[in-house]
Amino acid sequence: MALGKNYDGQDCSLAKALEVLGERWTLLVVRDAMYGVRRFGDFQAHLDIPRAVLSQRLAALVTAGVLERRRYQDAPPRDEYVLTPMGRELWLPVLALAQWGERNLAAHGPRRLYHHVACGTPLDRQSACATCGRSVPLEEVEVRPGPGLRHDTREDLVSLALRTPHRMLDPIS
């Protein structure tokens, strides 16, 4: 049965957010952009999905204002995808969902740990730093490998970059 992408009649803010983010893979594309992935081939290698699906998801996120498409090379023409301020604001829901998954569904402990880059303090599930007493935005977060990562055998560029501490949004390419 056809279930379109929109939620007509569900005019609530959650439904509106899911119209932008609710398709399969979309939030994982956003997650990778938060890590600093910018180029089509790097998204593709890390997500391991068909190129047509990735193209559609990236285009939809650009249309929605979550990603911005930027030319980084002219001959041959090549674009990269960077989170807009509206996209970076997705850090809170992405972190909240990931932390829920981690507490309830992760078999081998956390794969990724999030710390405040200024003081090294681990962030809580609302991205608050207990040392600095404030909520930490994506720009100030460092991701570090957690104990669950010891089972990781992936060799793509993104997986390798995240085996050591990495500041969120720093380009991976």
Site map (CB under 8 A) of a copy of itself, residues 25-64, x = contact: x-xx--x---------------xxxx-xx-----------
165 binding a copy of itself? (CB under 8 A):
no
Taking the complex as a whole, the smallest distance from the CB of residue 71 to a copy of itself amounts, in Å, to: 25
- Select the residue interacting with a copy of itself from 106, 142, 145, 157 (CB under 8 A): 106
Residue closer to a copy of itself by CB (options 5, 70) is 5
Strands 134-135 and 128-129: antiparallel
Question: 157-168: b or e for each residue (b if 16 or more CB lie within 10 Å)?
Answer: bbeebbeeebeb
Place of tokens 């991976």: 172
Residue closer to a copy of itself, measured from CB, 79 or 146: 146
Q: What minimum distance in Å lies between the beta carbon of 165 and a copy of itself? A: 17
Q: Tokens in use for 28?
A: 């994982």
Q: Which is nearer to a copy of itself, 73 or 153 (CB)?
A: 153
Min CB(24)–a copy of itself separation in Å: 5
- 172 Cβ contact list (under 8 Å, min separation 6): 35, 36, 37, 38, 42, 157, 158, 161, 166
User: Which are the contacts of 19, defined by CB distance < 8 A and separation ≥ 6?
Assistant: 5, 6, 7
Q: Which residues ranging from 61 to 100 are in contact with a copy of itself (CB under 8 A)?
A: 65, 86, 89-90, 92-94, 96-100
Helices 26-35 and 13-21: angle between axes, nearest 10 degrees: 80
Subset of 118-157 contacting a copy of itself (CB under 8 A): 125-126, 128, 135, 148, 151-152, 154
1: contact with a copy of itself by CB under 8 A: yes
Residue 71 CA from chain centroid, whole number? 21
